[in-house]
Amino acid sequence: MLVTNNNLDFFLIARSGQCFRMHAEGDTVFLRTGSRFLTIHDLGQGVLDLSCTEEEFPFWSHYLDLHGPYARAIRAIPPEDTYLLSCVSACRGLHLLRQDPFETLISFILSQRKSIPAIEQCVEKLCMLCGEADDSGYAFPTPQALAACTEKELRGCALGYRAPYVLETARLVCTSPLPPPNTRLSDEKLLSRLLAFPGVGIKVASCVLLFAYHRLGSAPVDVWIQRVIDRHYGGVNPFPALGPYAGLYQQYMFCHARLFEHPEGSG
DNA sequence: GATCAGGTTTGCA
DNA sequence: TGCAAACCTGAT
């Protein structure tokens, strides 16, 4: 179905590092989450052709956060933060997806010390190992399917030392399901709940808070953001002072750093 | 072949 | 509380 939206850049989102099953090819974006699959064809002039029915559209509208408070968040940026403003103007059209908590948790556990292409390969292998197959490809594994795997099978997906983390986390989720995306738990409670899983530290837990629970104040600090902090904020983390949209601002900076800045000494 | 990539855990001061 | 070192694997 056709959707008009001038303020959404799927090609940017696909490269934003918040999800690992979204790929751009030419003017088309392919997106997979859980057992769902969507293609987005950019017809130009802000018109997008989504490969979903009207019945499915509410799911995708919510997932893509089509009605998020982006304009308001941008207006709330302190005018003296010129670096952040320049990131926003270079990365307009970025949205924060509302991803599935389990899929996000597992994806970010296995992301540690891996490059984005390596993460995408790992996730795909995991889906092929124990995700349900249909004619469009493989679904993300359920907690039960993942928990039924052996550590050896997971290592076969190039998970390395993260294999037992993923396995144990899947088993724990089977026993005690993750809070739903609309949980009323406070950020702090949710964070400590996530930190209890093996292989989950502050960075991964913050990512799950931001990307699955849409807690826009959660600003994960990874090596890219640490470089931003060192270069542009004199080594002082600016996010605690940036209020309820700090995590969204972090994403603008992250995209800007990855797509437009160069890491130290990499040419 | 050494180093590093969107980190976490463990051990030791 | 803070800092290294170790950990799998693929890419450069």
Beta bridge partners of A32: A37
Q: What string of DSSP letters covers A158-180? A: T-GGGHHHHHHHHHHHHHSPPPP
Residue whose CA is minimally distant from B6 C1': A222
Its pTM stands at 0.96
Q: What is the pLDDT of residue A6?
A: 76
Give me the A residues in range 92-131 that sit within 7 A (CB) of strand B: 111-116, 118
Q: What is the pLDDT of residue A263?
A: 54
Give me the A residues in range 200-259 that sit within 7 A (CB) of strand B: 200-205, 207, 220, 222-224, 254
Q: What is the pLDDT of residue A197?
A: 96
Å separating the CA of residue A168 from the C1' of nucleotide B9: 15
Task: Give the integer Cα–Cα distance in Å for A5 and A26.
Answer: 19
Q: What string of DSSP letters covers A118-146? A: HHHHHHHHHHHHHSPEETTEEPPPPHHHH
What is the SS3 assignment for A265?
coil
Contacts of A235 (CB under 8 A, 6+ apart): A229
Work out the number of other CB atoms within 10 angstroms of the CB of residue A186: 10
Q: What is the pLDDT of residue A148?
A: 97
**A87 DSSP assignment:** H
Q: What is the pLDDT of residue A267?
A: 28
Contacts of A193 (CB under 8 A, 6+ apart): A179, A185
Q: Which of the following is catalytic: A114, A152, A189, A203?
A: A203
What are the average pLDDT values for consecutive 10-residue runs of chain A, which has 267 residues? 88 93 92 96 92 97 95 97 96 95 96 92 95 94 97 94 96 97 96 95 96 96 91 92 96 92 48
Q: Which nucleotide is nearest to A19 (CA to C1')?
A: B6
Q: Which nucleotide is nearest to A198 (CA to C1')?
A: B8
